[in-house]
């Protein structure tokens, strides 16, 4: 296509603003980004090092994909690639390099959470994870819900598979989907479409788009992933004007304005299939009038009108550290600044293969270089990392007798491994211990410090509890792991890279012994007001624990998620407190977390509320339990007692 200035309405926006530092736009795309390219000279950009990707060599196409998207958004005017909103503050987060997001969906969630916690108004994704189902998994759905609550707009490409192919996260209704049309306004044949995109998607210029080539020069590319930053740039410019006018516009409302003002395609432009055009073609002049004209009927298309964004909790950043530039000079580390923040400028941007990795991780008081805390729930597992390590265990483990036949040990048999580690505790250090979610490893767990041997001994006991019979009193259903992310990854035997959690102490390493808990709760229910059948209480409690775990399932990195996970563990430990609710036949309805209005000095406090209802009587008052959790320390702690009250339905 011709330069971006030829898009109707863009030049008129540029006459009013090239973007404001008060507006933060995140690019979540392939990495590493080549910020040494001259088009980025003087730009206000911050690179976040992705601890979840490890340090393997990057795939060239991933680096180009991300660099092109960043240049379309932030390329300075007067340079080789004039971008859409070069005056905005940019946060660049590599979501993939050698590891495909489709193979590691947890990487997408980690990257998206990073953008949200970095204070992004807009997140432009360059990710299309093919799926057979429009529904998102619980982790991704939770991350998108956080984005919505923080008034962060997520924009994703429709994908380039030429049909009704589904891509995540584009299928999600909170996401603004972007398709592509050519220079003549016809929807590109490769641009995905269909009912999953129709009501929250828009098509924009997506062919012959000029972007920065890694190493210098320019390239011309097409696709929905280059149309996405164009749409993101338009929204960033509109938000910049609103901020300049002291109108703290809602990015989600601007999204709605773009959809409402989109121009329907003609039969020729939609190639005879109207659904290809999604909600319509991007119409910058119409969207500008709808958003900026105070006399327009903008409030008709957004029932809540313009809303101020909720105040963001300040986050602790660990950015890309010093790296090596091509000329051998050291680049300065990116540091957050007040307001919109300032990051690496000009060609001295930090290399993504430089020093220790980091991420926006916590609202707890911390600073660059502080290892972020984690409080995660899941199941324990182990890995060997290589065939050689597996074979050493096989040779060292004692053979077993099966039906009077002696056979070599099987190191993949968890029961045999528990027996071996119990007899040879030092061997536990030679395993890669993993914390798993739905059989997928999300962290590697390592013991360190003076109590490392005790940590591995406890991990062995917890693994023994997991492989015990489900009727065994010592059966462990799940574990809670507190620790710190150390900025390293380990490669599992499958090739997957997982971040490492460092556990220096036993405090908080906890196994959910369900059978013991059920027995205690049943006994407590006998003393509760009213009466209930023991089996009913036991069934309700098991359902309660299952719902708690699956409703709260997350990676345990942000302050809110650590509070939720500890609340789940605390609820487990104090389940007899809920005996009266369970004895009354109530069921868990909702779980919510919000910043606590009361807290101690230099602490980080969150209120967690669990609401129970009567599934057989919807007129009966609901019962609410509330925890206040302080997550400022490695080990979260409950403030005060568990409070309970009833509320009218």
Higher pLDDT, 544 or 240: 240
Domain residue limits at 455: 373-508
**Span 555-587, pLDDT tens digits:** 898 888 899 888 878 766 566 666 777 777 788
Q: Which residues contact 423 (CB under 8 A, 6 or more apart)?
A: 398
Write the CATH number for 225: 3.40.50.200
If one counts the domains in the chain, the total is: 3
User: Of 143-152, 330-339, 378-387, 422-431, where does mean pLDDT reach its minimum?
Assistant: 330-339
Q: Are 503 and 643 in a shared domain?
A: no
Q: Tell me the DSSP string of 313-377.
A: PP-B-------B-TTSPBPPPP---STT---B-GGGPPPTTSS------BSSS--TTPPPEEEEE
Domain boundary among 304, 331, 350: 304
What pLDDT, on the 0 to 100 scale, is given for residue 431?
96
What pLDDT, on the 0 to 100 scale, is given for residue 195?
86
Q: Give the up-direction half-sphere exposure of residue 200: CA atoms within 13 A in the CB hemisphere.
A: 18
Q: Are 103 and 121 in a shared domain?
A: yes
In a domain, 328, yes or no: no
Mean pLDDT of the chain: 80
Peptide bond connecting 82 to the previous residue in cis, omega within 30 degrees of 0: no
User: Once rounded to an integer, what is the mean pLDDT over residues 137-141?
Assistant: 78
Residue 72 has pLDDT above 60, yes or no: yes
What pLDDT, on the 0 to 100 scale, is given for residue 525?
62
Residue 180 has pLDDT above 90, yes or no: yes
Q: Are 280 and 136 in a shared domain?
A: yes
Task: Count other Cβ atoms within 10 Å, centred on residue 510.
Answer: 20
Q: Are 292 and 435 in a shared domain?
A: no
**Span 439-456, pLDDT tens digits:** 889 999 999 988 899 999
**Span 417-445, pLDDT tens digits:** 999 999 999 999 999 999 998 888 999 99
In a domain, 366, yes or no: no
In this prediction, residue 295 has a pLDDT band, given cuts at 50, 70 and 90, of low
Q: What is the rounded (10 degree) CA torsion for 208, 211, 213, 219?
A: 20
Tell me if 98 sits within 8 A of 57, measured CB to CB. yes
Above pLDDT 70, what percent of the chain?
Answer: 81
What pLDDT, on the 0 to 100 scale, is given for residue 304?
38
Q: Are 499 and 520 in a shared domain?
A: no
In this prediction, residue 94 has a pLDDT band, given cuts at 50, 70 and 90, of confident
In this prediction, residue 516 has a pLDDT band, given cuts at 50, 70 and 90, of confident
Domain boundary among 264, 288, 304: 304
Q: Which residues contact 313 (CB under 8 A, 6 or more apart)?
A: 363, 559, 595
In a domain, 316, yes or no: no
Tell me if 210 sits within 8 A of 235, measured CB to CB. no
Gyration radius (Cα) of the chain, Å:
27
Q: Are 100 and 59 in a shared domain?
A: yes
Higher pLDDT, 52 or 568: 568
In a domain, 319, yes or no: no
Q: Are 531 and 496 in a shared domain?
A: no
In this prediction, residue 588 has a pLDDT band, given cuts at 50, 70 and 90, of confident
In a domain, 311, yes or no: no
């Amino acid at each position: 296509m011709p330069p971006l200035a030829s898009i109707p309405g863009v030049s008129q926006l540029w006459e009013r603003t090239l973007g404001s530092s008060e507006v933060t736009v995140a690019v979540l795309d392939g990495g590493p980004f080549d910020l040494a390219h001259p088009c980025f000279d003087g730009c206000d950009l911050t690179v976040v090092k992705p601890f979840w990707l490890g340090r393997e060599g990057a795939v060239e196409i991933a680096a180009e994909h991300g660099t092109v998207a960043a240049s379309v958004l932030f390329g300075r005017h007067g340079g080789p690639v004039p971008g859409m909103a070069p005056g905005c503050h940019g946060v660049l987060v590599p979501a993939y390099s050698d590891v495909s997001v489709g193979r590691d969906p947890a990487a997408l969630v980690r990257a998206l959470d990073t953008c949200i916690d970095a204070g992004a108004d807009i997140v432009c994704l360059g990710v299309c994870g093919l799926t057979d189902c429009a529904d998102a998994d619980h982790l991704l759905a939770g991350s998108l819900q956080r984005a919505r609550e923080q008034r962060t707009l997520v924009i994703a490409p429709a994908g380039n598979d030429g049909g009704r192919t589904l891509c995540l996260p584009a299928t999600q209704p909170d996401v603004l989907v972007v398709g592509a049309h050519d220079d003549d306004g016809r929807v590109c044949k490769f641009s995905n479409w269909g009912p999953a995109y129709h009501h929250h998607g828009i098509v924009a210029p997506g062919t012959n788009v000029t972007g920065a080539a890694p190493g210098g020069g320019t390239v011309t590319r097409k696709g929905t992933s280059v149309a996405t930053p164009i749409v993101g740039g338009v929204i960033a410019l509109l938000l910049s004007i609103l901020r300049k006018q002291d109108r703290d516009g809602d990015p989600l409302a601007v999204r709605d304005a773009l959809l409402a003002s989109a121009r329907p395609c003609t039969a020729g432009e939609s190639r005879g299939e109207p659904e290809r055009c999604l909600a319509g073609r991007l119409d910058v002049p119409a969207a500008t009038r709808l958003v900026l004209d105070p006399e327009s009927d903008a409030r008709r298309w957004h029932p809540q009108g313009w809303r101020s964004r909720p105040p963001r909790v300040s986050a602790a950043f660990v950015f890309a550290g010093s790296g090596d530039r091509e000329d051998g000079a050291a680049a300065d580390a990116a540091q957050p600044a007040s307001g919109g923040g300032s990051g690496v400028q000009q060609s001295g941007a930090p290399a993504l293969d430089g020093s220790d990795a980091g991420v926006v991780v916590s609202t707890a008081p911390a600073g660059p270089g502080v290892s972020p805390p984690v409080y995660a729930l899941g199941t324990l597992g182990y890995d060997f990392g290589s065939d050689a390590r597996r074979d050493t265990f096989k040779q060292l483990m004692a053979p077993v007798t099966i039906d009077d036949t002696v056979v070599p040990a099987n190191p993949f048999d968890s029961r045999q491994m528990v027996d071996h580690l119990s007899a040879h505790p030092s061997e536990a250090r030679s395993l890669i211990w993993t914390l798993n979610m739905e059989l997928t490893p999300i962290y590697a767990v390592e013991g360190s410090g003076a109590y490392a041997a005790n940590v591995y001994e406890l991990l062995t006991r917890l693994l023994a509890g997991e492989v015990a019979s489900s009727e065994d009193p010592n059966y462990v259903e799940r574990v809670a792991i507190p620790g710190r992310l150390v900025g390293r990854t380990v490669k599992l035997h499958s090739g997957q890279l997982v971040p490492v959690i460092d556990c220096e102490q036993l405090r908080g390493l906890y196994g959910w012994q369900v059978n013991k808990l059920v027995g205690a709760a049943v006994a407590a229910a006998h003393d509760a007001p009213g009466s209930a059948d023991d089996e009913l209480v036991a069934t309700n409690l098991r359902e309660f624990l299952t719902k708690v775990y699956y409703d709260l399932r997350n990676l345990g990195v942000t302050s809110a998620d650590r509070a939720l996970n500890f609340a789940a563990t605390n609820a487990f430990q104090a389940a007899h407190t809920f005996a009266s609710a369970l004895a009354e036949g109530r069921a868990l309805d909702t779980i919510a977390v919000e910043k606590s209005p009361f807290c101690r000095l230099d602490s980080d406090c969150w209120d967690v509320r669990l609401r129970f209802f009567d599934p057989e009587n919807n007129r009966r008052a609901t019962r609410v339990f509330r925890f206040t959790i302080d997550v400022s320390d490695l080990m979260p702690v409950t403030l005060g007692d568990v409070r309970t009250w009833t509320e009218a339905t």
